[in-house]
Structure 1
Amino acid sequence: MKKIFYSLLIIISFLQNANASSPQVPDYIIFKGDTIPVYNLILEKYFQKIEKSDKGSLFGLKFREGGSFNCWRGYQAIYEIENDSLFLKNIIDCGERKIDQIASEQRIKEIFSENVKNGKVYIDWFSGEFSLRNGDLLRWDGVFHKTFENEILIKVKDGKISNVSKIENYIDEPNRINRKYGDTISKIIFNELYKLNWNNKNDFDCSELYLVTIGKNGEVSKVIMPEYQTKEEINKFWDEGEYDYCIKAVLKGLFDLKFDILKMNGKPIEEIVYLEIWVEDDGKLENWTD
């Protein structure tokens, strides 16, 4: 009975959080004749700014409530860059393949009224930057944001395009470790730790889940155990000195690793890698990473 009850809790939790954690469809932008996915929700930011984001039904759209798992916002926006200016061109239902122009125009007019010119809206509320894919996929957060090896970075000031540049988000150096594919990094880290003998005179057991941070310079900068965040938790579940020993042992074991530089929007970023290990009685490691 306890197992059944626990399973029900998992199912309920999944249903409650499915919208927030499901992969989301992007908006689109028309740029130099191409229609390209864009992962910066410009129209959504406008709704949040005018505090209309929590209404269950907005301008004929099923907004929030009743939205599909892969489109929690209840719509997709299509933007266009024309004459160095950014415009909102369409608001469509999620996954709409053939655009209903009449419905789209009605939605835009109801939201922006007199600001609609020639069926479009000049996006004067947006200042910032967004990038467009111009190469292979490099990273995906599993829900929405995607980073590509090469991108076109577009900077905007009050709806006016201020700069367009090509950027690289990956520096491939021959004397560093390749990490183009995120799913291989934990294996590389495990293989480095596997070289060590984990037997020690204090009989400390370092079997645990770790989060390993690769810094902006491509070197391991930090190791934590995410399940033990406070001194109280550490003292409760770990013998004296054991926690510090294991953290330092993992850090030391990864000290010599130097990875290629990973970027987002052309700027170096940190990356956190999930790793779970099990230490056998003979001091050898098993990789328990999912």
Structure 2
Amino acid sequence: MNKSVRVYIFLLFSLFSLNSKLFATAQASDILILENEIKELFTNPLGQLFLQKEEVSNKFSKIFSNYKALISSACWRGYIAKFVIKNDCLYIIDIFITIPISPKDKSKLFDTEEISIFSELFEADIPVVCDFFTGVLTIPQGDMINYIHDGYLSEFEEYILIKVNNGKIIEQGKYNLENYKNKKHQAFERFYGSAKCNESWNFIKNNFEDIVEENSKKEILKDCEDLYLYDFYEF
């Protein structure tokens, strides 16, 4: 993967929540094991690791290229990561990429296979604590109420939100859809009047001037949940 493209993708996925309308395609979620149950995770903690540690993002890029791994419109980040919460800490336990393989059906150009690159990337065979991650994990619950073909915008009956500071769980709550949407809206309004909002918008404009417009400021920022949930959401 070209380095500039890789950095662009990781920056987008870290800075812009996957809810952002910039993606315009529903995205495959990461996975979280919570209380021995497998959950979808509408947050991508590895984005922060790749931004913080260039050597790790370079290593991922090299592994990705060596395997000739594939990116799809349903997973622009190019991987699915698997996490677990244990002893009030968030750990990564696996990371998968999709690679092309020779097809059994000779009429096809190729088939695909999902492989783990956890040991190659982290040089470990045991869970790795996510001390690089500070943010809010969003976990949908129950039935899907409204499918939206865009990022993580589809709506579910309930949500679990877990606040994480340097990999440690510090707060969490469970909300029905209406309560979740109301509290998220309130968090955004507090953020929108803050200095952090102005700093974030200036950063976005400076780095993505070709794809953002001033009159879209509120709409774009509202979809960037990573910018305001941690500091402004009241659990």
Instruction: Give the shorter-chain TM-score range.
Output: 0.5 to 0.7
Counterpart amino acid of 1:81? I
Residue equivalent to 2:81: 77
Question: 1:149 Cα shift?
Answer: 2.5
**C-alpha distance in 1 between matches for 2:93 and 2:62:** 16
Question: Structure 1 132/57 Cα, relative in aligned 2: closer, same or farther at 3 Å?
Answer: closer
The answer to whether structure 1 residue 143 and structure 2 residue 150 are counterparts is: yes
Q: Deviations over 1:90-135 (max 9, x none)?
A: 011149x99755x4312222xxxxxx5x522111111221221222
Preserved CA contact (<8 Å) 2:134 2:164: yes
Q: Deviations over 1:250-274 (max 9, x none)?
A: xxxxxxxxxxxxxx99x79xxxxxx
Higher relative contact order (Cα pairs below 8 Å, separated by 6+ residues): 2
SS where residue 93 of structure 1 aligns?
Answer: strand
**C-alpha distance in 2 between matches for 1:66 and 1:56:** 16
Residue equivalent to 1:107: 121
Preserved CA contact (<8 Å) 2:81 2:94: yes
Q: How many pairs does the alignment contain?
A: 154
SS where residue 68 of structure 1 aligns?
Answer: coil
Counterpart amino acid of 2:61? L
Counterpart amino acid of 2:120? Q
TM-score by length of 2: 0.52
> Pairwise CA RMSD of aligned residues?
4.1
**C-alpha distance in 2 between matches for 1:99 and 1:31:** 23
TM-score by length of 1: 0.43
Match of residue 127, structure 2, among 94, 102, 120: 120
> Which residues in structure 2 correspond to 1:18-33 (within 5 Å)?
20-33=23-36
Percent identical pairs in the alignment equals 23
Question: Structure 1 147/45 Cα, relative in aligned 2: closer, same or farther at 3 Å?
Answer: farther
Structure (1/2) with the larger helix percentage: 2
Bigger Rg over Cα: 1
Question: 1:158 Cα shift?
Answer: 1.2
Preserved CA contact (<8 Å) 1:71 1:94: no
Counterpart amino acid of 1:162? I
**Unaligned runs of at least 5 residues, structure 2:** 1-21, 100-111, 180-184, 187-213, 216-228
**Unaligned runs of at least 5 residues, structure 1:** 1-18, 110-115, 172-214, 217-228, 231-263, 269-290
SS where residue 69 of structure 1 aligns?
Answer: coil
Question: Structure 1 140/155 Cα, relative in aligned 2: closer, same or farther at 3 Å?
Answer: farther
